A and B are shown apart, each in its own frame.
Chain A
Amino acid sequence: MTARIGVVTFPGSLDDRDTQRAIRLAGAEPVALWHKDKDLKQVDAVVLCGGFSYGDYLRAGAIARFSPVMDTVIEQARAGLPVLGICNGFQILTEAHLLPGAMLGNDHLHFICRDQKLRVENASTAWTSDYEQGQEISIPLKNMDGRYVADEYTLDKLEAEGRVAFRYLDFNPNGSLRDIAGITNEAGNVVGLMPHPEHAVEPLIGTGRTDGLPFFTSILKKLVNA
């Protein structure tokens, strides 16, 4: 038995097929989910992938958060369904208030695409358990609106509760506060990050490293062992 992991396609989603490939390479079964459809097809977990949902002409993720599929995702995430938001997916999770804080435009005002070094700050979430605590990894980053912000109280709380999941190392590519690249909710089932693990799952392709694969093996192990 394997796990079924849903990948939502919004109009303007870009990395949906890549994410499905990463799920397949990890050994799980990818299931395509459609933004107009409230039905999650009984998947065991959901990934909200990168892209420019609905064009993101408003704040990134602001419209996607109100799509029919998100009604169900929000409801089930609160009940414990594992949800990973990558890039635009992270933006949607903050807009949906499944994760605290917000994403602003990069401080240098340019789109940035680079191989980004990160430190895994929390290796006990549903999506990070196959990493070592403190492990340093490199995965691609590519975004226009990646500057994570929150008020001081929220940031302190995130730090105190170990909910900063990933931090930028060596170079902060967008001006994110406290170098935050990704965070988790209290229960550890919802994780969001700006860099793209689904683009680092095969040798030769992209940066040629597979540092992103543990996201998908983490969730698979958790679901299969559950």
Chain B
Amino acid sequence: MSRTPLDTVEHAAATPDVELPWAELGLKKDEYERIVEILGRRPTGAELAMYSVMWSEHCSYKSSKVHLRQFGEKAPENDALLVGIGENAGVVDVGQGYAVTFKVESHNHPSYVEPYQGAATGVGGIVRDIIAMGARPVAVVDPLRFGAADHPDTKRVLPGVVAGIGGYGNCLGLPNIGGEVVFDACYQGNPLVNAGCIGVMRHEDIHLAKASGAGNKVILYGARTGGDGIGGASILASETFDDAKPSKRPAVQVGDPFQEKLLIECTLEAFKEKLVVGIQDLGAAGLSCATSELASNGSGGMRVTLDDVPLRDSTLSPEEILMSESQERMCAVVEPDKVDRFLEICDKWDVIATVIGEVTDGDRLEIYWHGEKIVDVDPRTVAHEGPTYERPYARPAWQDELQADDAGKLPRPRSGEELKDQVLKLVGSPNQASKQWITQQYDHFVQGNTVLAMPEDSGMIRIDEESGLGVAIATDGNGRYAKLDPYTGAQLALAEAYRNVAATGAKPLAVSDCLNFGSPEDPAVMWQFAEAVRGLADGCQQLGTPVTGGNVSLYNQTGEAAIHPTPVVAVLGVIDDVARRTPVAFQEEGQLLYLLGDTREEFGGSAWSQVIHDHLGGLPPKVDLERERLLAEILISASRDGMIDSAHDLSDGGLIQAVVESALLGGKGARLVVPDGLDAFTFLFSESAGRAVVAVPRSEELRFTDMCRARNLPATRIGVVDGDTVEVQGEFTLTLQELRKAHEETIPALLA
């Protein structure tokens, strides 16, 4: 794009008729006209580069923000919230002077194009968001979705994604403690690679992305800027894939986890010495984003000399430097008398650091190249005043037909033998099978604070060695439920993550989300999105857990085929003493199994309907958030007071899936009795929400059942931990060995 003469602000004003490649940069005609209107002239090439990436769907949320406002408008009163939506990540008070920041983001499109680097840099990006808040990252989680497990392309994408997440995260020294792996043909060509990170800091260490104090220096530090990832946010993340277009591989960034590890350590050391006024990481839209956001969030303007940016490739044009998404870079605002010390710390860690500009008195962002001004904009117009679309949305015509196709009418197993056969099929199906082959490629132990990691209901990290204070995180999403009813589906994702956190004994506090949908230009997709956001916002309001931030990923579709609407919800919880945590595994023979909650005939979107009948139709399970809250309170109390020794949430696959998992993890079987009023099939496979199964020591039975009765939570005794089989009395018996074989051999057989 470099042209002669240099396209300076002066030159742009003098040559109003020069045509700029706005369409190639992903801008629409009316958006370009709006830029001309804002500036009162045509933009320079550099300005156009900045606007094009910052006004992309990925950075500006232009299709989604009219809906996302509900997260703020419906936010419940919550004293724990220290920093809400709008910053790099939300921050929550967890007590004892500690604050926790967490967020989930998507790196879907890059991971399809180049699985290893796409997934690796997804981890890198979310980790930098967490550091930018002032926190030490303490754990990562990875909710992943791929096409059919036996599709040949899944074997290309999945191993690359998993190796990329491991290769990057393991090298950073961050334990990977949770997430999901889901297979569904709808994600063929559009895998969902979401990445979450948790960070911990003291309250006084919270940092924000703003540049204030005229004369303060702007320091760019970390990796040199190269030609990788140019236009990643605008071209890659904000368009659908199309066979006719050229490969987009050059738009995928390349990660260097070693550089990021140094960046973490040197940033934390600078924070410790109170050297940093404001900080922003360079992710999507690179320097364009960092400079415009820092300047627009602060009190003054900013002047940047682009020639001072350390380059990997000296031939880069100023536009390319502004758009580059080279990884492992951060931008700090530092008072002049602290600059030397800041540079010293960077030098100690062998991190390149360069003063590239300063905060000014004015309110303009000015960028210079070879002594000439090439950008002169109001940074707010770049960072915050992008276009907003009221995209048309409409309930699709097929929704009624889909919901009418009731899964309750599917043929059910008629004998114990058939039940047994279907249980084996279920626990060995790719979605229900053990994901150990995947998760053992991630380091769970580093940092020495991991209390629980997958396949537990939530990952748990100790944050204070003295008191035992800890945090828990669970991520959940069920695209099948959301397809049947996006409003309910989003609430079911929230309810499941909330329940998973409580099942380990932690109190749910706050929510982050990653909203993965198809093209917003399709009214049916936009309706799914609007419904899911409404459902999630209403649900968070009712449960008292505010959404603190998150990410929207649109255009997850190839041609006409959109993915299932897939809102992934992360719930963060706190536990006063990690010694009280409750694991999934059965601990001792003789302990009594109780089913908490109500079981109804609910099979719409269920794992059973998928595995046995390849069916998706009807309505998803009903949501009762008051019941979820009560169940969570009971689980937390029982955990704290030592009334239960294991607990497992019931979700996809129903009760039998949960019992089999607890049995295999503990190496102890179970004898189950079908309770009065239920048939064996519904008992085993229903996916009614608001349920958990717990193992109660006999000495605690009375205390536990009294508590449930007093609080009006249905608690049904369904059996006992016993032996080396899972037996459903009068129906069938399966040995742990048979179950283990079915459950653990599926994934390696498909992917190894």
Contact = CB atoms under 8 A, between A and B. Distances in A.
Interface of A: 11-12, 14-15, 17-18, 21-22, 50-52, 54-57, 108, 110-114, 140, 142, 144, 196, 198-199, 201-202, 204-207
Given A204-B578, A205-B462, A14 B173 contact: yes
Q: Which of B441, B443, B462 has the most CB of A within 10 A?
A: B443
Given A112-B440, A114-B440, A196 B445 contact: yes
A205 B449 contact: yes
Contact of A14 (B166, B350, B446, B449): B446
B682 interface: no
B96 interface: no
B440 to A, nearest CB: 5
Contact of A52 (B258, B444, B449, B578): B258
A111 B450 contact: no
Contacts of B579: 204
Given A14-B446, A198-B448, A204-B579, A112 B441 contact: yes
7 contacts: A12-B258, A18-B446, A18-B448, A52-B257, A113-B445, A202-B448, A204-B581
Given A55-B171, A205-B450, A140 B261 contact: no
B242 to A, nearest CB: 34
A54 B258 contact: yes
Nearest to B752: A108
Given A17-B448, A142-B446, 10 more contacts: A14-B171, A52-B171, A55-B256, A110-B441, A111-B443, A142-B443, A198-B448, A199-B445, A204-B579, A205-B462
Nearest to A21: B448
B446 A15 contact: yes
A194 to B, nearest CB: 13
Contacts of A202: 448
A2 B327 CA distance: 45
Contacts of A205: 448-451, 462
Of all A-B residue pairs in the complex, the 7 with the closest CB atoms, nearest first, are: A55-B258, A14-B173, A18-B448, A199-B445, A140-B445, A111-B166, A111-B441
Contacts of B171: 12, 14, 52, 55
A11 B451 CA distance: 27
Contacts of B578: 204
Contacts of B444: 113, 140, 142, 206
Contacts of A113: 170, 440-445
A51 B173 contact: yes
B335 to A, nearest CB: 27
B58 to A, nearest CB: 29
B167 A111 contact: yes
B643 interface: no
A57 B261 CA distance: 14
Nearest to B438: A110
Nearest to A53: B258
Nearest to B462: A205
Given A111-B166, A111-B167, A142-B170, A17 B258 contact: no
A57 B256 CA distance: 10
B467 interface: no
B459 to A, nearest CB: 13
Interface in B149-169: 163, 166-167
B451 A204 contact: yes
Contact of B262 (A11, A110, A114): A11
B447 interface: yes
A198 B450 CA distance: 13
Nearest to B439: A113
Given A11-B350, A52-B171, A111-B166, A206 B445 contact: yes
B166 A11 contact: no
A36 B140 CA distance: 30
B393 interface: no
A111 B170 contact: yes
B98 interface: no
Nearest to B262: A11
Contact of B261 (A11, A17, A204): A11
A17 B448 CA distance: 9
B681 interface: no
A198 B444 CA distance: 14
Nearest to B452: A204
Q: Which of A21, A52, A114, A207 has the most CB of B within 10 A?
A: A52
Given A111-B166, A113-B440, A204-B451, A142 B445 contact: yes
Given A52-B171, A111-B167, A204-B578, A11 B445 contact: no
